[in-house]
Amino acid sequence: MAEITNELIYEILKNIQFRLDKIEAGVDELRHGHSALRGHMISIQTDISNIYTSLARHDERFDRIERRLELRELAEPQRPYEPK
């Protein structure tokens, strides 16, 4: 069986510390990527909300136009249908 020395333990601990530093760097990179994705999702959600607001305004305008047209149709004298 191999003898365990302080130098061997020190080398193993250095290797573990190096690997943990790499893992921490990877986690930080993932955290930044996650934050960027969250920012993009919020901007997309805002854009969609603005689109819905604009569509609602257009829908209200169309409703008013349709009501005006219906009132105008009722006010105009109707000619009987005469096929040619």
Q: How far apart are the C-alpha atoms of 28 and 32, rounded to whole Å?
A: 6
Query: Pick from 35, 38, 36: which is nearest to 46 by CA?
Result: 38
The pLDDT value recorded for residue 1 is 53
DSSP character for 83? -
pLDDT digits (tens, 9 = 90+) for 20-38: 999 999 999 999 999 999 9
Mean pLDDT value across the chain: 90
The whole-number average pLDDT for the span 37-60 is 98
